[in-house]
A and B are shown apart, each in its own frame.
Chain A
Amino acid sequence: MQIYLPIAEVSVNAFLLLGLGGMVGVLSGMFGVGGGFLMTPLLFFIGIPPAVAVATEANQIVASSFSGVLAHLRRKTVDLKMGTVLLVGGLIGAALGVGVFNYLKSLGQVDLLVKLCYVVFLGVIGSLMFVESLNAIRKTRAGVAPKRKKHNWIHGLPFKMRFRTSGLYISVIPPIIVGVLVGILAAIMGVGGGFIMVPAMIYLLGMPTKVVVGTSLFQIIFVTGFTTLLHATTNYTVDIVLAVLLLIGGVVGAQIGTVIGAKLKAEQLRILLAIMVLAVCGKLALDLLIQPSELFSIGSAGGH
């Protein structure tokens, strides 16, 4: 069944969009990532103009994250306090990121920078997580109890706060810095930032994996909601019909994903996320390295 999208001005298969939304929704519920880093390239691929894809994707992430957060709230695996602290940092970072993005745009080559950003961050985060979770799985098999609550320099910082749900008593400075950095990257790369936020919470803040997913989703709702409004009012690129099709699939998928996620062990969850991140990274790296079959590309004048 073909559906004509009023803003994107293209006609696409409705079931294809429902399927894509569902698939990304499952991942979203499982890993606490918004799925933007997967969905945006997929939308480009089926012929949605990039500007519309990026803006509409933000809107869809709001829906799937909200659906996911409700499921996590019932299971009490959302650290609202930590989420709020991260969000404060995230919004500051997003504002800074938009400034950085516009500055880079004026220099040209912003597309390349975004792609390189993706390759570097996905590559580094993916490999670190992969190695770490592989080691964790090996240790569990060998019967060694995993070491928790390591004390390092982070615990020496001032402004300490108790995060009951995460079982942490740490300074608010690291979460705010993480929030700002993720916010900047999210604004530049046009995603919710879950795939950076989740590993950062696990490895930098030492939060338990189960809590991380819900908390990440919680702050993604606000960041992507803000982005949606920004795109709708400045670029007019949010396609509501496209968003509805994607989010119907997405919200259902997110519920299924949460159920699957709850059945998996933390290490298994992390290793799956690592593999997925590495796969996307590999694909993007190949696109940059292999000679494209068509050297020329067409864009609307002024856009990217």
Chain B
Amino acid sequence: MRGLLLILLLLAAPLRAEEVVLGLSQDEVSISTNFDGSEIVIYGGIKREAPIPQDQPLQVIVTIAGPQEPITVRRKDRVAGIWVNTDAMDVSAAPSFYAIATSAPWGEVLNEADDLRHNVSIPRRIRSIGAWSQVANPQEFIDALVRICMDNGLYVLAEGAVDLRESTLFNTAIRMPANLTEGEYATRVFLTRGGKVVSKYETSIDVRKVGLERWLFNLSRQQPLVYGLLSLAIAIAAGWGASAAFRLLRSG
């Protein structure tokens, strides 16, 4: 018991030595009709009571994660000459968006053990419980998921994108794409020394539809029949309107 307490104290002690004071350019993202992605500037300082430890350089990792959702990854294979989805793996939870910005190359900012503890790197955010029972090599499917999301700009690993000055002030900008889903985007800042996390700060960015977008979305969920009839009415009105306009154009 005393040994456990000691370990806890040792773990807790460095966390208090250096603390993050964080600022965000915006703590909510409003999705309006003309929403075209958003760039969030994350800046902050490091508060300390003691002089800056000189043994190892301080590094900063900033992450923004969208809501976790279940995803199915499918693989095509050739069957009787045509390409067909043959294998599928259900990923129980993967972030809809995940961006990491670091102040140095990945290998220098975080070690395996602390990555495992804090779930920082992209593969760590993907939960695939029971994957082994579905396909022979789940790693291949997870790699494909990461690759496709990175190609689409949904997963970002920006090494060296955090600008750190005098081991005290840092800032970075994270670009959020246009195809965002609604929800709480967990924002985390880690301070590391020699690959070990020495301090951690968490907050969240609220991504919400507003105005017309909000109204239409709510209507479609709460009164689907009204929404459906509204869609049809618009379609019929537009069809009639165009027809009438063309008749006027030709006769006039």
Interface residues of A (CB under 8 A from B): 1-4, 6-7, 9-11, 47, 59-60, 62-71, 74, 109, 111-112, 225, 228-229, 231-234, 236, 238, 240-241, 243-244, 247-248, 251-252, 254-255, 287-292, 294-303
The answer to whether A238 and B231 touch (CB under 8 A), given A109-B84, A252-B242, A297-B73, is yes
B238 at the interface (CB under 8 A from A): yes
From A9, A243, A255, A289, contact of B235 by CB (8 A):
A243
From A4, A47, A68, A233, contact of B34 by CB (8 A):
A4
- The total of interchain contacts (Cβ-Cβ below 8 angstroms) comes to 186
Main secondary structure of the interface of A (DSSP, over half): helix
B75 CB to closest chain A CB, in angstroms?
A: 5
Task: Enumerate chain A residues within 8 angstroms of B147, measured Cβ to Cβ.
Answer: 296
The answer to whether A11 and B83 touch (CB under 8 A), given A66-B235, A243-B231, A297-B74, is no
Evaluate contact between A63 and B148: CB separation under 8 angstroms: no
Q: Find the residue from B90, B144, B212, B239 having the highest chain A CB count within 10 A.
A: B239
Evaluate contact between A301 and B37: CB separation under 8 angstroms: no
B96 CB to closest chain A CB, in angstroms?
A: 9
What is the number of residues of chain B that contact chain A, defined by CB distance less than 8 Å?
Answer: 62
Evaluate contact between B232 and A225: CB separation under 8 angstroms: yes
What are the 5 tightest A-B residue pairs by CB atom distance, in nearest-first order?
Answer: A232-B228, A66-B239, A11-B178, A251-B242, A296-B144
B217 at the interface (CB under 8 A from A): yes
| A289-B76 Cα distance, complex, nearest whole Å | 12
Evaluate contact between B225 and A2: CB separation under 8 angstroms: no
Task: Enumerate chain A residues within 8 angstroms of B214, measured Cβ to Cβ.
Answer: 6
Contact with A along B143-166 (1 / 0, CB 8 A): 011011100000000000000000
Evaluate contact between A288 and B83: CB separation under 8 angstroms: yes
Task: Enumerate chain B residues within 8 angstroms of A66, measured Cβ to Cβ.
Answer: 235-236, 239-240, 243
Evaluate contact between B243 and A238: CB separation under 8 angstroms: no
| A46-B234 Cα distance, complex, nearest whole Å | 24
Evaluate contact between B34 and A255: CB separation under 8 angstroms: no
| A248-B229 Cα distance, complex, nearest whole Å | 18
The answer to whether A289 and B82 touch (CB under 8 A), given A238-B228, A300-B69, is yes
Interface residues of B in 4-19 (CB under 8 A from A): none
Contact with A along B171-205 (1 / 0, CB 8 A): 00000001111100000000000000000000000
The answer to whether A297 and B76 touch (CB under 8 A), given A70-B239, A228-B228, A233-B225, is yes
Task: Enumerate chain A residues within 8 angstroms of B26, measured Cβ to Cβ.
Answer: none
Evaluate contact between A63 and B31: CB separation under 8 angstroms: no
Task: Enumerate chain B residues within 8 angstroms of A251, measured Cβ to Cβ.
Answer: 238-239, 241-243
A294 CB to closest chain B CB, in angstroms?
A: 7
Evaluate contact between A247 and B180: CB separation under 8 angstroms: no
| A101-B70 Cα distance, complex, nearest whole Å | 24
The answer to whether A62 and B69 touch (CB under 8 A), given A67-B243, A236-B221, A247-B238, is no
Evaluate contact between A11 and B36: CB separation under 8 angstroms: yes
Evaluate contact between B145 and A298: CB separation under 8 angstroms: yes
B40 at the interface (CB under 8 A from A): no
Question: 17 A-B residue contacts at CB 8 Å?
Answer: A1-B34, A6-B213, A7-B216, A7-B220, A63-B235, A67-B240, A74-B247, A232-B220, A238-B228, A238-B231, A243-B231, A247-B238, A255-B243, A290-B83, A291-B78, A292-B83, A296-B141
Evaluate contact between A67 and B239: CB separation under 8 angstroms: yes
B33 at the interface (CB under 8 A from A): yes
From B33, B72, B76, B241, contact of A301 by CB (8 A):
B72
From A9, A62, A243, A255, contact of B181 by CB (8 A):
A9
Evaluate contact between A3 and B34: CB separation under 8 angstroms: yes
The answer to whether A296 and B243 touch (CB under 8 A), given A2-B35, A4-B31, A236-B224, is no
Task: Enumerate chain B residues within 8 angstroms of A294, measured Cβ to Cβ.
Answer: 144, 148
B86 CB to closest chain A CB, in angstroms?
A: 10
Evaluate contact between B148 and A9: CB separation under 8 angstroms: no
B132 at the interface (CB under 8 A from A): no
Evaluate contact between A232 and B225: CB separation under 8 angstroms: yes
B247 CB to closest chain A CB, in angstroms?
A: 7
The answer to whether A295 and B84 touch (CB under 8 A), given A6-B216, A255-B242, is no
The answer to whether A301 and B81 touch (CB under 8 A), given A4-B213, A11-B178, A243-B235, is no
| A134-B235 Cα distance, complex, nearest whole Å | 37
